[in-house]
């Protein structure tokens, strides 16, 4: 047996060689006492970007297609201002500044939350809790704009050149044309921290600003329009404009990247021909034919939050097995049952 770790946004620390070596030693500690250490360690590999076997399988974590988690340089996931540290994206900032310090917030489920959900959370936490949540959002927003400035710094341009160098080295080591690697890069989403509009939408500031603007317009109309007799009509137009703009903003705020991952899988199967294109990231198992002879599989997850509440994410515990068939290779998505063992995913 052998194991290849395909790095994602939750284990980006594996970029560091020291972390990889420590992980290898942990695995070695679980090996048979009779195992040859050098031979055992030689069967542990790391793929910073993707794992590929010609015409069989292409594996990638998937976070690079999610603007909330994507890193600008997959092969050099470093902070431009502090190259000795890893880069941070929106999710890292939101978790650090808002989610983890706030009682009642989990890492999952924010894709379905709106402004009023966070206001309701603050109300449950009381006046002090509301103020604290608001201050945490302010600190997070300031950090997001600091990251945006980093994207356009001279240090960021130097890091981009280093990333290009590493791409060339990867192409040479894997005997893959640089053009194919750049074709994958073109499919990836830019980090949301590069865009002012993206930052505003990510923390719902655009929705808040819209609500304040509509409220201000109604107040002005109430002061001016009542005497002129056209308040009702004008107020109705303001409310209609607010609803339409709100829907437009909501339509363009894609927090869950499941559709993007599946759509990109079809392109990946063309760039790197494979029977199965595998990703994770969304934690939701999925098996979808994306083109003739190619299937997209999302492996779901094995880790889960602690707790019995319905808001806590439960692991699907799914895994992929590839079988040779007369018609070609076929990927089977199985779910682990602690009693019955592997079974087909329902």
Q: What pLDDT, in 10s, does the model give residues 158-206?
A: 999 999 999 999 999 999 999 999 999 999 999 999 999 888 888 877 7
What pLDDT shows up at residue 118? 75
Strands 50-53 and 57-60: antiparallel
Question: Rounded CA gap, 253 and 246, in Å?
Answer: 11
Whether residue 20 is contained in a domain is answered as yes
Q: Are residues 135 and 234 part of one domain?
A: no
Whether residue 261 is contained in a domain is answered as no
Q: Are residues 230 and 198 part of one domain?
A: no
Question: pLDDT by residue (tens digit) across 278-305?
Answer: 999 988 899 989 888 889 999 988 876 5
What pLDDT shows up at residue 246? 72
Question: Rounded CA gap, 124 and 117, in Å?
Answer: 11
What pLDDT shows up at residue 312? 47
Q: Are residues 15 and 138 part of one domain?
A: no
Q: Are residues 108 and 5 part of one domain?
A: no
pTM across the whole model: 0.84
Q: Are residues 155 and 171 part of one domain?
A: yes
- Count of domains for the chain: 3
Whether residue 34 is contained in a domain is answered as yes
Instruction: For the beta carbon of residue 37, count every other beta carbon within 10 angstroms.
Output: 11
Q: Are residues 169 and 227 part of one domain?
A: no
Quote the domain boundaries for residue 18.
1-48
What pLDDT shows up at residue 215? 80
Residue positions counted in the chain: 346
* Residue with token string 């329009």: 225
What pLDDT shows up at residue 226? 59
- The last residue of one of the domains, among 181, 203, 225, is 203
What pLDDT shows up at residue 142? 94
Question: Rounded CA gap, 200 and 189, in Å?
Answer: 17
What pLDDT shows up at residue 252? 63
Q: Are residues 182 and 117 part of one domain?
A: yes
Whether residue 76 is contained in a domain is answered as yes
The answer to whether the CB of 229 falls within 8 A of the CB of 105 is no
Q: Are residues 159 and 82 part of one domain?
A: yes
What pLDDT shows up at residue 209? 77
Q: Are residues 195 and 79 part of one domain?
A: yes
Whether residue 162 is contained in a domain is answered as yes
Question: Rounded CA gap, 108 and 312, in Å?
Answer: 8
Q: Are residues 82 and 11 part of one domain?
A: no
The answer to whether the CB of 86 falls within 8 A of the CB of 79 is yes
Q: Are residues 167 and 124 part of one domain?
A: yes
**Regions in the chain scoring below 50 on pLDDT:** 306-307, 311-312
Task: Please give the angle made by the CA atoms of 76, 15 and 91, to the nearest 5 degrees.
Answer: 75
Question: Rounded CA gap, 343 and 332, in Å?
Answer: 10
């Amino acid at each position: 047996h052998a194991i290849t770790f395909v790095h994602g946004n939750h284990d980006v620390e594996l970029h560091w060689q020291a972390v990889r070596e420590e992980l290898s030693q942990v695995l070695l500690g679980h090996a048979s006492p009779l195992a040859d250490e050098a031979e055992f360690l030689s069967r542990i590999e790391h793929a910073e970007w993707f794992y590929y076997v010609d015409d069989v399988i292409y594996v990638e974590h998937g976070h690079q297609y999610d603007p909330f988690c994507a890193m600008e340089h997959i092969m050099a996931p470093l902070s431009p201002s502090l190259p000795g540290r890893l880069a941070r994206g929106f999710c890292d900032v939101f978790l650090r500044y808002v989610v983890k310090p706030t009682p009642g917030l989990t890492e999952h489920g924010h894709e379905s939350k709106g402004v009023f959900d966070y206001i309701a959370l603050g109300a449950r936490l009381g006046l002090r809790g509301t103020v604290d949540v608001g201050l945490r959002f302010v600190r997070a927003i300031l950090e997001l704009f600091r990251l945006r400035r980093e994207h356009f710094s001279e240090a960021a341009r130097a890091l981009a050149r280093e990333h290009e160098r590493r791409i060339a080295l990867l192409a040479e080591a894997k005997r893959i044309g640089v053009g194919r690697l750049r074709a994958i890069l073109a499919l990836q989403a830019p980090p949301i921290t590069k865009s002012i509009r993206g930052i505003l939408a990510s923390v719902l500031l655009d929705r808040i600003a819209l609500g304040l603007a509509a409220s201000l317009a109604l107040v002005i109309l109430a002061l001016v329009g009542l005497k002129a007799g056209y308040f009702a009509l004008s107020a109705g137009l303001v409310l209609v404009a607010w609803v339409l703009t709100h829907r437009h903003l909501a339509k363009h705020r894609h927090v869950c990247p499941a559709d993007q991952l599946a759509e990109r899988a079809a392109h990946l199967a063309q760039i790197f021909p494979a029977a199965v294109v595998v990703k994770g990231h969304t934690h939701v198992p999925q098996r979808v034919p994306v083109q003739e002879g190619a299937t997209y599989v999302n492996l779901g997850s094995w880790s889960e939050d602690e707790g019995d509440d319905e808001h806590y994410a439960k692991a699907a515990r799914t895994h992929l097995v590839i079988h040779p068939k007369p018609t070609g290779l076929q990927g089977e998505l199985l779910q682990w049952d602690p009693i019955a063992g592997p079974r087909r995913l329902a």
